[in-house]
Amino acid sequence: MALQNMEQLNAMHFDVLREIGNIGQGNAASSLSQMLSQAIDISVPSVKLLDFNESVEYLGGPENIVLGMLVGLKGDINGMMLYVLQKSFASSMLKSVFGKEISDLTELDEMDLSFIQEIGNILAGSYVNAISSLTGLTIDISVPTISIDMAGAILAVPAVEFAQIGNSVLFIDDSFLFTNAEKSADNNEIKSNMILVPELSSLETLFSRLGIEV
């Protein structure tokens, strides 16, 4: 039976998505470790099915200022990935590399944004490579488009896609743990939030390659 909406996904589908996230997060941690010159550990990512309003609230409410990175997916898997980063994430990364501290995301300059964009490339590339390594599917990603705005406005960007796949989206939490907390911000754990908005036919392709019915 063809997948009509995200609500049809079951526990087995979520286990697969969690494993893909775990592999992708591990790859990202290795790349970030080299970039930041320090060891980074990970915890098992969480995968949730949230509707639009729940997603906004989970990100701190509609007026919370966040950094969004939108990445397009093309090839055997089509859709988009939206990374939503809090100030703590950007602050930790900037402090680790440049020794720079920020009190607000609006303080980020062009160099800072370029650096964060490269991190977005690493995060998205690692997740997509995990899918490809498990399935053999070919997926191309676009250069991340960055914007800083209220969470409600950031999530409005893929809002049209929400309607096409049902009332819910896949919300994936990744946690990165700095082994050397002195080089990071006050808290040595930072999180990235990723909203995955694939075409339903692409999800069918993904699960079919892994021998899982939808």
DSSP string, 138-170: -EEEPPPEEEEEEHHHHHHTTHHHHHHH-SEEE
Mean pLDDT of 164-185: 72
**For residue 184, pLDDT beyond 60:** no
What does the pLDDT read at residue 121? 93
- Name the residue with higher pLDDT: 20 or 4: 20
**For residue 76, pLDDT beyond 50:** yes
Length in residues, the chain:
214
Least trusted range by pLDDT, from 36-40, 65-69, 147-151, 165-169: 165-169
**For residue 52, pLDDT beyond 90:** no
- Name the residue with higher pLDDT: 103 or 186: 103
Distance between CA atoms of residues 135 and 177, nearest Å: 28
What does the pLDDT read at residue 38? 82
What does the pLDDT read at residue 193? 93
Cα angle 130, 67, 92 (rounded to 5 degrees) comes to 80
What does the pLDDT read at residue 183? 44
**For residue 181, pLDDT beyond 60:** no
SS3 labels along 65-77: EEEEEEEEEEECC
**For residue 189, pLDDT beyond 90:** no
What does the pLDDT read at residue 6? 86
Mean pLDDT of 143-149: 94
- Token pair in block for residue 198: 């694939």
113's enclosing H/E stretch is helix 110-135
21's enclosing H/E stretch is helix 11-36
User: Domains in the chain, please, with CATH?
Assistant: 10-209 (3.40.1550.10)
Mean pLDDT of 124-131: 95
- Name the residue with higher pLDDT: 48 or 188: 48
